[in-house]
Structure 1
Amino acid sequence: MASFQYKGARGGKPCAGTIEAPDRRQAIALLAGQGIQLQQLDEEADSSGSGSGGGLSLRLGGAKKIKPRDITILTRQFATLLEAGFPLARALEFVSRQQSAGPMAEMVADLSTSIQQGQDFSQALSGYPNYFGNIFLSMVRAGETGGILDAMLVRLAEMREADEALADRFKSAMTYPAMMMAAMVIALGVMFAYVVPQFATMFEDMGRALPGPTQILLNAGDFAATWWPAVVAGVVVAGASFKAWVKTESGAFQWDRTRLELPGLGNFMAQFAIARLARTAGTLLESGVNLVDAFASAGEVSGNRYISHIMQRALAEVRHGKPLATALADAPVIPVLLREMIALGEESGQVGPMMQRVAEVYDRQTREAVSGITSIIEPFMVLFMGGVVGMVVIALLLPIFEMSTGGV
């Protein structure tokens, strides 16, 4: 028997624990029988049961976990092979042979074995909830039922690729400011650690009254030299506390709401979340998922708990017969374009295509926003860094200038 640690939800409430089962699939079946919607399942490191390949935690030989981008590539490979006429079992065998040793190879080999044993593809994928979530499984099941698995995998690949491209644009917008800020902190650290102390010694030997800016700088240098361990510890504790708070349900909700209210950046984050929501909802609706389930799932993957909460609240009204566009009429954060396109889609029965158009609009806006943010931030950061370093240099040289001009 193997021991598995699991995380999931039962009756809408989070739950976690340990369960013993002969292998991974039976552990999943046992948890499903208990009404647990599984989110994560890992075999304990000291477990004595070997199970099948699927019973492993995908950390073989100390290998890293499979990345989301790897799953996207795998999905695209499956879609391409199925479109080319490969049977699913043969496609899995082909992809399995292309994988080098590691967790991905173990997973694909296990999926191939499951298909050969007669399992449905969705059933085999459900053994890896860390990598194939509810949306992925729902679309695969819809493809299996309708005989269009290849088309569904194409849609999944396109959706994941678009989401990753959007996330990459967001990261690129944030990377440059972070690097510039780090460079400034390092430059100031070097100056306070090596340059300022030397000037301080020289000024003491001069025995002259120092200008105000210079005295402030030296006091700051003394404070940094004396209290830097406490400052660093304080920053670390504050960062760890913030990270722990954000991981809580209430903390994540409040932080996501606050992010949307940030001047300038909040609008960009809202566009990013709405683009993901609209694309996911559109893909699910076009795959045959009903409107309530499609938007409920889309809200969860939007990347923002506050937007997800707004969507869930609106869907509660939809379940009582109100149109979604009407339920979202007074909802904060939700843009007018999204509401109007939902209304048009509900009138024409084409909500899915309308959501894809909304996603395209906000994709374009995020691209433009990234370009705009980058073009503004680059010169601003250069000027800011130059100004800060320049003020430090001026404060250090001011007494020397006064001496050279005969000042007292």
Structure 2
Amino acid sequence: MQRFAWTGHSSQGTTSGTIEASHASAAAEALIGRGITPLTIRAASPSGDAGGGGAGSGSGGGDAMTTLRSWLPADLFDKKVDPVDLLVFSRQLNTLLRAGVPILRALMGLQETATSDKMKTTLAEVRRSLESGIALSMSLAQHPRVFDNFYIALVRVGEMTGRLDEIFLRLFHHQEFELFMRQQVKSALRYPSFVVSAMVAAIVVINVMVIPAFATVFQNAGVTLPLATRILLATSRFTLDYGAFLLLGAGAAVVVLRAWIATPEGRLRWDGWMLRIPVAGKIVRKAMLARFARSFSLSLKSGVPISQALTVVAQTVDNQHIARRIDGMRESVERGESVLRAAAVTGIFTPVVLQMLAVGEETGAIDELLEEVCDLYNNEVQYELKTLSAQLEPILIVFLGVLVLILALGVFLPVWDLGRTAFAK
């Protein structure tokens, strides 16, 4: 037995460790059985470090560079692959494989015709890995920013079943669905984002330019100002005196919030809060259920066992709160409980999903019924997104009305009082 140092992806994020196996492929299979998608597997030295490392007596400059890289995000200067490029890649590879083109020749052709430099580089590295004898799924797993866990898991199933062409067609439809959902969300949030941005800009302009002009007049009048006016003057003065600190504080708060969300505990709490937001929470929940149903159905249709399919789905659901519940569902299934009972205990599924799972277990057609669940919630999410602007419009109108009321009371009440005083004299 040999010891290997590995890094991989699980439902909790990136992880690493060591494992004993007869060879690297056996180590990869053992990690996959644990629900971990391996990224790198290297022979470990007797001390437990990964083999192949050079002597540690390098210059101090190298140590400084390593320290700097550890502080910076790994993908700071790394260009992302556009989802459309990956969508086209899946469709073209399906066509080439179905036509009988060998995988290496197909990848070479796709590399030459790719419009994205990042995609060209990725395909070149995947092709070199294949030429060195590494399986396609393992070659793709070395590029987690391009191919996610769900993509890699289905490619691995295609390798085992000899149906890679069908797998890439299913991945194409899955990516098409995901891209459509993202576009719907962006379209729905465009109008509310514009209105909120305009309100924030208006508040800043009023506090910095408008109210200071009135402040001089009010102070010279020597009269008692209404409460609303005093609030406006104090807010404007605070903005002028501490505006830079407010911007720095807001920027620091965003950085701290993102760092906290990047932690496992912070991401879990944040995703749980996202499901409880008054208007958007129900849309997020329905979208997650649609994604769960589609991913689970696609995995089962591709021949993935139920427990492994749940592991894959937990890694691909973009919500750690739901992913933890799906992990618990997988553990219950592995203990021998039915899928229906395991799903009911999680508390995240609606009665519609539970009824479909019950019928699916009785008829042996869980994959087909889950696909209907996906279509159902997909249609509901589309309707919710189309009416999102109408749902947010009353809230925005109320905030805008309150803002106008405060400004009107704060500016015009003292002007009116001054006018009455002048007429009285």
State the TM-score, normalizing by the size of structure 1: 0.82
**Which residue of 2 is the match for residue 90 of structure 1?**
105
SS in 2 for 1:74: helix
State the 1:128 CA deviation.
2.3
Looking at structure 2, the residues matched to 10 and 93 of structure 1 have their Cα atoms a distance apart, in angstroms, of: 31
Q: How far apart are the structure 1 equivalents of 2:12 and 2:196? A: 42
Deviation of 1:371 after TM superposition, in Å, equals 1.4
Relative distance call for 1:88 and 1:289 in structure 2 (3 A) is same
Structure 2 match to 1:25: none
For 1:255, what is the secondary structure of its paired residue?
helix
- What does 1:118-197 align with in structure 2 at a 5 Å threshold? 120-197=135-212
Q: Does 1:81 align with 2:96?
A: yes
Relative distance call for 1:250 and 1:331 in structure 2 (3 A) is same
SS in 1 for 2:317: coil
What is the CA–CA distance in structure 2 between the aligned matches of 1:68 and 1:172, rounded to whole Å? 17
Residues 1:215 and 2:230 aligned together: yes
Distance 1:237 1:208, change over 3 A: same
| Deviation (angstroms), 1:123 | 4.1
Distance 1:70 1:30, change over 3 A: farther
Which of the numbers 385, 388, 396 marks the counterpart of 2:400? 385
Match of 1:349 in 2: 364
Q: Pick from 367, 378, 399: which aligns with 1:363?
A: 378
Unaligned segments of structure 2, at least 5 residues:
18-23, 41-52, 54-61, 64-73
Aligned-residue offset at 1:223: 2.0
Name which structure has the greater RCO, CA cutoff 8 Å, separation 6+.
2
Alignment correspondent of 2:57: none
Provide the C-alpha distance between the structure 1 equivalents of 2:231 and 2:198, rounded to a whole number of angstroms.
23
Amino acid at match of 1:108: L
Q: How does 1:202-351 map to 2 (within 5 A)?
A: 202-351=217-366
Instruction: Output aligned runs, 1:24-63, within 5 Å.
Output: 37=36
Counterparts of 2:281 and 2:221 in 1: how far apart (Å)? 52
Aligned residue identity for 1:70? D
CA distance in 2 between counterparts of 1:178 and 1:185 reads: 11
Aligned Cα RMSD in Å?
Answer: 3.5
The amino acid that maps onto 1:364 is N
Query: What residue number does 2:122 align with?
Result: 107
Instruction: Kindly state the Cα deviation for residue 94 of structure 1 after the two structures are TM-superposed.
Output: 2.3
Cα 1:378–1:196 change in 2 (3 A) is same
1:232 deviates by 2.8
* Greater Cα offset, 85-94 or 295-304: 85-94
Q: 1:375 aligns with which of 374, 390, 399?
A: 390
Shift of 1:126: 3.3
Of 234-243 and 244-253, more deviation after overlay is shown by: 234-243
**8 Å CA contact retained: 1:6, 1:38:** no
Partner of 2:48: none
Tell me, what secondary structure is at the counterpart of 2:387?
Answer: helix
Report deviation, 1:383.
5.1
Aligned residue pairs, count: 382
Whole-Å separation in 1 of the counterparts to 2:360 and 2:235: 61
Shifted more, 113-122 versus 255-264: the winner is 113-122
- Identity rate, percent: 27
Gap regions ≥5 residues in structure 1:
18-27, 48-57
- TM-superposed CA distance for 1:93, in Å, is 2.6
TM-score (normalised: structure 2): 0.79
Q: Distance in 2 between matches of 1:317 and 1:199?
A: 68
